[in-house]
Structure 1
């Protein structure tokens, strides 16, 4: 919700009649020409913008006017929309420099931002959506920016949103009115349009950690009454709160963002307009991966069994390989850096991202109807370079690489309002292409780090073994390339049926055809120093190695070329002379030496993992419906009640796991609401509330399933015979959320406006038997467990936020102002496997500002403090690490008119 104080004389008309309603009449006939269109058009218009405020008299508290929302083509009172909707103005966000998605979600009810790097972050509504998105997966919570649906979460993850007009959040499945369908809700961000009145604004802010944020906007007429423009540029530069001791010039999470947007509005006639938007954010690097501290790993599992710590950093860093070459230690540095504000990693480099896009919106007025066309194009680039968290040469140049492209087209027809029925109907199509590579690189210390206890003991025994240990993984580089092509086409419609002044029925229907295809391959892009240690083949791919048993002895069936490779191993690492008899040099090795070769080969093969030639995954093709049914009853001018039933589906996923196709079923959501929207206390209090129930079938998230490839390998002669399990994005059969949401604004105190929202929310698995075991159960034979009845990860039971804005004229032409926003979230489990160590306690974060400026806004100086009271509750935690809270930040902002 947002506040919009207006003069009382402006409220009279709004109290008499809601938009779209005619003078009293019990029933109105349906015009015959609309019957065909209404077969596909079924419902009400949702949300989008707000009327500009007018200053109240200084001697009285302002009355609250009709907050409005718009579905692009039309404007409607928020109090008349029969859905759970929140609206926040851009002016409110600007006061506290709330410029990114995380900050925006702290101003609305029951919406959560789940931290991660720009590719892994996710949004949740009503406690659902914490699971990180895969590249082939649609977002559960959609984001629309200036009419363009962002069909890929990362598009909005590293942006500063500037020159915002309004932000709307609509909860529940969407898609019957416009754009792309979503299963949980949508965040709709609208920036200010060009106008024919010249306007220029600037803002410069400087604060702690060398943070400089600046933005400038200018616009006005190019040709009076024909062409107007508006341009915005912004830049953010600042150091993070954690410093890399290996390279102090790197800090986490720093800010390095530059963007620009140009909008052109063409109005050649009263019946046609065109709006062109182009924007760019050049590639730049921000270090978000690695912003965490290590803690000691527990020495016992949940059942009391001793944890041998075989793969723990404490075991690995105690190996002579590492103690010989550095003073870096487990206790003093790996754990001790947490107390000094440091991490120490040689290969945690900034994540490079960049995005560009364009949109063309055309509007034709056809009598009382409006025809709208919106064409959009966007791209996105992501490049991560990760590390294991030490200064040693272990992980090199690993991480994700993404090139994303989307092209969308929407055609929408809106009817006039004021009759028995008003409607909106249209067509929507979008195609996305994603080239995604997962890269893994190993350095010269990787063998000593990733080897098992027995492998390390065998190989660190002498010079030859240490050479094998180093070469086993040094400069090995693996890639898994995925290509995703997703195409969607939809027809949708929505209508308001005004049976009387009091009763309106909102109905909507959508049908979307999904066509999703995936191909992938996994290969060694660089063999590195250990080519001679390759196996003969993996998954039918020839790697040029030789055949040997687990003890290192040559197996039958080696060709002369393969025996030559074995001899080369004997010559290189043990100084044997190669003879004319293939295999003779290798066979001259002692059993201990052959065991060293076997250990190095096993280490290399286990780390390289599964390889496969390019394969096509089973495509996902389906027609998916969505609908809304929502009657509302106006009990009076200041009280409206409604009931709604929304249904939507999220597309299934076409994907390969270890070269095997796994098709994920679509996610299906039924959302039910019972709500009331009221205006109270002489129109100084807007208070909206709803109770909701969301039932989801086949919720898309990580599940455990049999690893077909590894299981087959285990059942070959000499294998373990065990069934192997792996994690992939599958389906939890049943998830449910229910609760209460409130949203309101109060202006009954002189010079003060209070905005508030909150939620009581219970989100649980109703049926799910294949969630991966948490780390504290890592000793159990079964790798999955049943979590029916447990709360979903990321779901707080209670959330609340309150924003207060106080503005008072002083010193004749000056304006004193102060604002704060406080967000509260109760405890939640931050671990997707619901580890008992993943619980994060309740947190309260307050941002505040105080300033003095001119009443005409020509100049203003403000002091801004984020996290005023120094909340230090973790953002996330595991059993041996945690992500710290962002510390307090203080800055000074100067803004004004150009």
Structure 2
């Protein structure tokens, strides 16, 4: 075949670039699939007979490389699911969506800590200063924070695709394991109005409306999407039965405008809003008895919650017993949380896009976007007692601004290419808030401390006041963090058409990362008893008086400190101060002074680490990414390809107990060999690949020396913090396919064998069952599987449609998602093993073939699989039970 000469490249006019930035517009890189059926006839007109032949499945297209390309021509491991398939099974949240895609999983935590993983990699303890391993792109806008996907319903979707392996030479922000690319339906000049109403059990309701059309014919079009979703959770808080876990409370809206003033120019403006609302996720925990022995048989003498609840302080409340605390109460699905609140989240966003088609056939694209996110968690220890009060969680305000400029060459020459610049600025202000209540002293006291303090009225008052109403910006990993991340990159990718069947794809990216973090941990309110403060914590003076472990005054107290000790003697024991500072305190009995020491020790232990405003060591580095991928079209319907991909995830600027403890960059190299085929007269699409992914300095929780505590105590102390695992590896086989060779039936399937292991990890934290005295602070788990990485996964989707009653259609759909077992906790505790599970969603319905009206019965988790979502040695997170919905859809 003769190729037409490639036009000579001419740089775009500067005025065009300036105009593009000024208009704040962006051309979204989006996935899309060709319509699954011909457009239906207008209401009232006769319809054509239902097409019985197998559809041309090789028409599926993707935008993983910022172009509309046939999936079968892209030398990458990609899975695609259409928006129509998602809506048929009422699948709107990210967890439901990923159950339809190959070798990608949603790791459920709360709205802030949930994460995506691909090929078993990505289930990590999310920190505020850390990039996700798997990126998410929505309408061309990259989300640099996992939480932006966790508490949202994705409605009015065109398609979702997952691209596996390091990304960065295209697709906005670089990621180390892959990208989930979500594309919504865009404005058009064809009027439309579609609605959906779903009525579920547990008072559930979801309503969506998507409408649009021309505002000015051939010049301005719009599309608006509105959704509301509410449902009670299946686990009830007995303390306040109107609070349930995991409930749904979401309202969101999106409006888009498309401007097309000339054939060579188009602009799209989009604004989205999800107002703040509360969903109870933290607290969905069923407690089980704490094991009485450690793994080596040593008795467990730690102060467990069961031990605490047996104390007189708590047994006075005869309305609550240990039996109510364990196993979810009498019904097995109840918790008692007096202080917990639903987690409040909300988000706003705006994006603008602009495409110019230049005279020489090139296209200039500008993408500009803003996105913010709010998160507020208030947690509880799981009892109706006043231990935690409006505390135990993060308050986050996250903002990101991004700008991309991209030039795209026309197709058809010896080489086609894209290149551009990408910038993203992230600002995340996070505070970990903690407040103690009136029962906190009795809860956190050791057995010995509790025994001495509960002996008389004075001791009980000391125990109560030790923590009551103390409020802190608590060290976790800092009380307050001010995170500022800037990322600037230049990228380019080219497809070299060396011959008619052979194409070589090359790409390169250079990213300059500048990441900074300042923080502090501080007391916000001294609460009931500032007189029980330590003298100093770290380098923060708290103004207390110095005394030893049994309460005797230490040498060197000032007159003011001795007077403070006398105030303690008077307040708790009725001993009036004298003219000599310290005399009243010294007149206390040994037992009384010991009670004061116990109360001070409880307070000091809970205060933990304090440090003044400090700037952590920044992370500043230029990072490369590249791709080298030949593909060869063996026949028109069979393409083989290989790829070498390399990418880096930025290091982290962070604190560990007030000390700057930077984390190195994560470096990923991925090899892949695969084929893409269209078989059986194109009724079967079968794609497969084998892969090998190697990661150096994988970012995850590791065990490190606690420099702060070691320095304070003089004893070597260790802690767990985000650090680097020396080597991680994943290897395996992936299969994706679609079959439409049976009349009226379409089958989609994917599966993976995946072996994700720690190749070298000598400094893992010990699991809780190894917490016996004398145990090494480290555990070598080299060769063990990664947490959250099942060895086998597969999913199968089926859609059957049959014409009935002239203009009606009977339809049924199903999706089966199965995984083998895996550990749910990063320390690979033997108690954290989650067995194999199978989730089946099913729908059956009847509707008009022109989509004017349809009614369906939709059942998620059809067989009520009760495999827990997570386990620890004394608790588990139960599965979401079966949900039944009646769904009405139609067109207005």
> Would the TM-score normalized by the shorter structure come out above 0.5?
yes
Matched pairs, number: 859
CA drift at 1:141: 0.3
For residues 34 and 88 of structure 1, the distance between their equivalents in structure 2, rounded to whole angstroms, comes to 38
Asked whether 1:108 is paired with 2:101, we answer yes
For residues 34 and 124 of structure 1, the distance between their equivalents in structure 2, rounded to whole angstroms, comes to 41
| Residues 233/741 of structure 1: CA separation in 2 closer, same or farther (3 Å cut) | same
SS in 2 for 1:557: coil
| Residues 273/31 of structure 1: CA separation in 2 closer, same or farther (3 Å cut) | closer
CA drift at 1:760: 0.2
* Equivalent pair of 1:47/1:78 in contact (CA under 8 Å): no
SS in 1 for 2:342: strand
Asked whether 1:54 is paired with 2:49, we answer no
Paired residue for 1:753, among 741, 746, 752? 746
Asked whether 1:837 is paired with 2:820, we answer no
SS in 2 for 1:464: helix
For residues 178 and 188 of structure 1, the distance between their equivalents in structure 2, rounded to whole angstroms, comes to 9
Asked whether 1:348 is paired with 2:340, we answer yes
**Aligned equivalent of 1:194:** 187
**Aligned equivalent of 2:517:** 518
RMSD over aligned CA atoms reads: 1.6
**Aligned equivalent of 2:727:** 734
CA drift at 1:306: 1.3
CA drift at 1:72: 7.6
Deviations 1:167-220 (A, max 9, x none): 111000001023110000000111011001100000011010000000001100
* Equivalent pair of 1:58/1:750 in contact (CA under 8 Å): no
Asked whether 1:818 is paired with 2:812, we answer yes
Asked whether 1:251 is paired with 2:205, we answer no
Deviations 1:313-371 (A, max 9, x none): 11111111101233311134433517431101101210000000000001100020000
* Equivalent pair of 2:82/2:160 in contact (CA under 8 Å): yes
SS in 2 for 1:221: strand
**Aligned equivalent of 1:800:** 794
CA drift at 1:33: 4.8
For residues 189 and 73 of structure 1, the distance between their equivalents in structure 2, rounded to whole angstroms, comes to 13
For residues 64 and 788 of structure 2, the distance between their equivalents in structure 1, rounded to whole angstroms, comes to 31
Asked whether 1:69 is paired with 2:68, we answer no
Asked whether 1:680 is paired with 2:687, we answer no
CA drift at 1:87: 1.1
**Aligned equivalent of 1:20:** none
* Equivalent pair of 1:872/1:885 in contact (CA under 8 Å): yes
1:646-795 → structure 2 map (5 Å cutoff):
646-715=645-714, 722-779=715-772, 780-795=774-789
**Aligned equivalent of 2:854:** 860
Asked whether 1:326 is paired with 2:326, we answer no
CA drift at 1:550: 1.2
**Aligned equivalent of 2:640:** 641
**Aligned equivalent of 2:25:** none
For residues 234 and 64 of structure 1, the distance between their equivalents in structure 2, rounded to whole angstroms, comes to 31
CA drift at 1:409: 0.3
4+ residue stretches of structure 1 with deviation over 6 A? 28-32
**Aligned equivalent of 1:366:** 358
CA drift at 1:530: 1.6
For residues 73 and 503 of structure 1, the distance between their equivalents in structure 2, rounded to whole angstroms, comes to 21
* Equivalent pair of 1:47/1:76 in contact (CA under 8 Å): no
* Equivalent pair of 1:47/1:85 in contact (CA under 8 Å): no
For residues 198 and 66 of structure 1, the distance between their equivalents in structure 2, rounded to whole angstroms, comes to 25
Q: TM-score, normalised by structure 2?
A: 0.95
For residues 263 and 32 of structure 1, the distance between their equivalents in structure 2, rounded to whole angstroms, comes to 36
**Aligned equivalent of 1:142:** 135
For residues 61 and 551 of structure 2, the distance between their equivalents in structure 1, rounded to whole angstroms, comes to 75
For residues 847 and 783 of structure 1, the distance between their equivalents in structure 2, rounded to whole angstroms, comes to 44
For residues 311 and 413 of structure 2, the distance between their equivalents in structure 1, rounded to whole angstroms, comes to 80
Q: TM-score, normalised by structure 1?
A: 0.94
SS in 2 for 1:663: coil
Paired residue for 1:357, among 342, 349, 354? 349
SS in 2 for 1:565: helix
CA drift at 1:783: 2.1
**Aligned equivalent of 2:377:** 384
**Aligned equivalent of 2:615:** 616
**Aligned equivalent of 2:284:** 291
**Aligned equivalent of 1:8:** none
For residues 338 and 683 of structure 1, the distance between their equivalents in structure 2, rounded to whole angstroms, comes to 57
For residues 521 and 318 of structure 2, the distance between their equivalents in structure 1, rounded to whole angstroms, comes to 35
**Aligned equivalent of 1:561:** 560
* Equivalent pair of 2:64/2:163 in contact (CA under 8 Å): no
**Aligned equivalent of 2:19:** none
SS in 2 for 1:654: coil
Paired residue for 1:217, among 207, 210, 213? 210
SS in 1 for 2:326: helix
1:81-230 → structure 2 map (5 Å cutoff):
81-230=74-223
For residues 879 and 627 of structure 1, the distance between their equivalents in structure 2, rounded to whole angstroms, comes to 43
For residues 866 and 543 of structure 2, the distance between their equivalents in structure 1, rounded to whole angstroms, comes to 54
For residues 423 and 201 of structure 1, the distance between their equivalents in structure 2, rounded to whole angstroms, comes to 38
| Residues 50/335 of structure 1: CA separation in 2 closer, same or farther (3 Å cut) | closer
* Equivalent pair of 2:6/2:412 in contact (CA under 8 Å): no
* Equivalent pair of 2:628/2:645 in contact (CA under 8 Å): yes
**Aligned equivalent of 1:573:** 572
* Equivalent pair of 1:24/1:501 in contact (CA under 8 Å): no
Q: Which moved more, 1:70-79 or 1:81-90?
A: 70-79
* Equivalent pair of 1:840/1:875 in contact (CA under 8 Å): yes
* Equivalent pair of 1:46/1:69 in contact (CA under 8 Å): no
CA drift at 1:484: 0.2
SS in 2 for 1:653: coil
**Aligned equivalent of 1:410:** 404
**Aligned equivalent of 1:456:** 450
* Equivalent pair of 1:672/1:694 in contact (CA under 8 Å): yes
| Residues 338/46 of structure 1: CA separation in 2 closer, same or farther (3 Å cut) | farther
| Residues 835/852 of structure 1: CA separation in 2 closer, same or farther (3 Å cut) | same
**Aligned equivalent of 1:13:** none
For residues 848 and 337 of structure 2, the distance between their equivalents in structure 1, rounded to whole angstroms, comes to 49
**Aligned equivalent of 2:602:** 603
Q: Which moved more, 1:336-345 or 1:398-407?
A: 336-345
* Equivalent pair of 2:848/2:854 in contact (CA under 8 Å): yes
Asked whether 1:589 is paired with 2:588, we answer yes
SS in 1 for 2:59: coil
**Aligned equivalent of 1:11:** none
SS in 1 for 2:267: strand
SS in 2 for 1:174: coil
Deviations 1:826-853 (A, max 9, x none): 0000011100010000000000100000
**Aligned equivalent of 1:17:** none
* Equivalent pair of 1:703/1:770 in contact (CA under 8 Å): yes
SS in 2 for 1:808: strand
CA drift at 1:440: 1.3
SS in 2 for 1:605: helix
Deviations 1:722-743 (A, max 9, x none): 2111111100000000000000
Structure 1: 5+ residue stretches without partners: 1-22, 37-44, 716-721
CA drift at 1:29: 8.5
For residues 582 and 120 of structure 1, the distance between their equivalents in structure 2, rounded to whole angstroms, comes to 52
For residues 472 and 376 of structure 1, the distance between their equivalents in structure 2, rounded to whole angstroms, comes to 49
